[in-house]
Amino acid sequence: MPVLAFSRSSPHRRVKELDDRDLLLQMAEGGERPNSTAEAALDELIVRKSEVLVNVAFRVLGDREEAKDVAQMAFVRAWDHRERYSPQWSPNTWLYRIATNLAIDHLRSRQSRERMHEPLRLQLRHRQESTSARMMSELGEKEVAAIFDELASELTEKQRAIFVLREVEGLASAEVAEIVGCQQSTVRNHLFNARKLLKQRLMERYPEYAPQGSAEEQLS
Amino acid sequence: MTVERPFADGGEVRCMDADRLRDTLRDASVRRAAMRRHVERCRSCREAALAQDPTTLFRRLPKVELSADEVAEMRQRVKGVQRARRVGGAHRPAGSIRSAWAAAAGMVCVLGGLAAFQASTNPTAAPLNQTVAAGTTGDRPVLSALSAEDEAHLDRALASRALIEGDDVLSEQVVLMQVAGRASDLAWVANDRLDL
């Protein structure tokens, strides 16, 4: 049976020693032949970045399999546009940009909004010393994901992507602006509106988690 | 009690550790990242942040962890797209993974049609049998020596499959083909065949 053999001097071994930026440069310069150094670089990029890209796509789309599809398409697109990569850009920003735009497109093209659903009424976990913030902080990840999925369906695709990148991924506004291709002020506007809507819906549909009193009152 | 906003427009936290981070870290982005990590770990700070801004709840969206198999599958699929493009000879936009299964069914139908055609034109020839098994397990037949005609036949089938499936060449497919009228069984693993 034919077996793909990796030799010590193969391009596959060398790419492991490259940082992300050099990997992308090698992808751009390494040629188009099968098993070229460019393909080896792409292969290594997939190993390093699959989980990162799947996660950002998952948080935008809310579906693991769709997120994997989008991540795959992002790698193919990164390959197609490899000559456009410039070393002045952060590799992560470049890849995030491709994946986020694909995720936004994917979100827009969903034929039916099957993820729009009736408000989920989660069972309250009654605790003796329950405050709403404490109850919220006790929620499991799956419950958080379910609530987000429900509430974020009312955001625009861009609002959702920006909220995910800034609040969930923790990226700086400047980087988010670069990824989604807009001004920082626009990012802040989208973020403000996304937070406002999410907060409103959280209060409406899950009033048991509504904050009780201001932070100053809690401090006194 | 000190009140500190962990990030430019985030919540407020109130603990000594948060105070120390705010006082010692001057770089805004470093401070922000450190405060964020702290809020994840510190229950009182997390509750304070939630009280100030309930949307901080969504910082705990679950993380997807990919298994080694899933990463390997991703690599194979992307390689498959590249190979299909080389076979097709043109740039194609990436298609949906999920169409691959429908495409495989289409492939079987095309080959089945070929078999029927061959049977109708040459009743004495052995029928063209195809077995497509997707997956990474199972014995793989040995690659046999191919005649020029067999090569041409396989190339046509491969090109047909690439056209049917678009960019999504299924990895690890074993296609067993018995060319009508020939003794040799042609068996090949799809990915290896594409590398030849």
Token output for A107: 């979100």
Alpha-carbon torsion (A102, A48, A62, A67), positive or negative: positive
Q: How confident is the model at residue A201 (pLDDT cuts 50, 70, 90)?
A: very high
A214: nearest CA partner in chain B? B52
Token output for B175: 């296609």
pLDDT tens-digit readout, A166-183: 999 999 999 999 999 999
Among A91-95, B16-20, B94-98, which range has the highest average pLDDT?
Answer: A91-95
Q: Is B149 exposed, middle or buried (0-12, 13-18, 19+ CB in 10 A)?
A: exposed
Chain B residues touching A137 at Cβ < 8 A: 43, 46-47, 50
Distance CA A207, CA B5 (A): 25
Token output for A186: 């626009």
Distance CA A61, CA A73 (A): 14
Chain B residues touching A51 at Cβ < 8 A: 64-66, 71
| Main-chain phi, psi angles of A22, to 5 degrees | -65, -30
pLDDT of residue A210: 64
Q: How confident is the model at residue B115 (pLDDT cuts 50, 70, 90)?
A: low
Contacts of B71 (CB under 8 A, 6+ apart): A46, A47, A50, A51
Residues in chain A: 220
Q: Which of B57, B71, B139, B167 to mutate to test the interface with A (most CBs of A within 10 A)?
A: B57
State pTM to two decimals: 0.63
pLDDT tens-digit readout, A49-75: 999 999 999 999 989 999 999 999 999
> Measuring CA to CA, which residue among A77, A71, A62 is closest to residue A107?
A62
Chain A residues touching B78 at Cβ < 8 A: 42, 46, 72, 75-76, 79
* ipTM of this predicted structure: 0.78
pLDDT tens-digit readout, B27-59: 888 888 888 889 888 888 888 888 888 899 898
Helix then strand then coil, in percent of chain A rounded to 5, is 65, 0, 35
Partner residue facing B94 (CB), from A4, A76, A170: A76
Distance CA B38, CA A54 (A): 25
Is B69 an interface residue toward A (CB < 8 Å)?
no
pLDDT tens-digit readout, B172-194: 333 333 333 333 333 333 333 33
Token output for B122: 């040459």
User: How many helices (H) and strands (E) are present in chain B, helices listed first?
Assistant: 7, 3
Chain B residues touching A2 at Cβ < 8 A: 143, 189, 192, 195-196
Q: Which of A4, A43, A46 to mutate to test the interface with B (most CBs of B within 10 A)?
A: A46
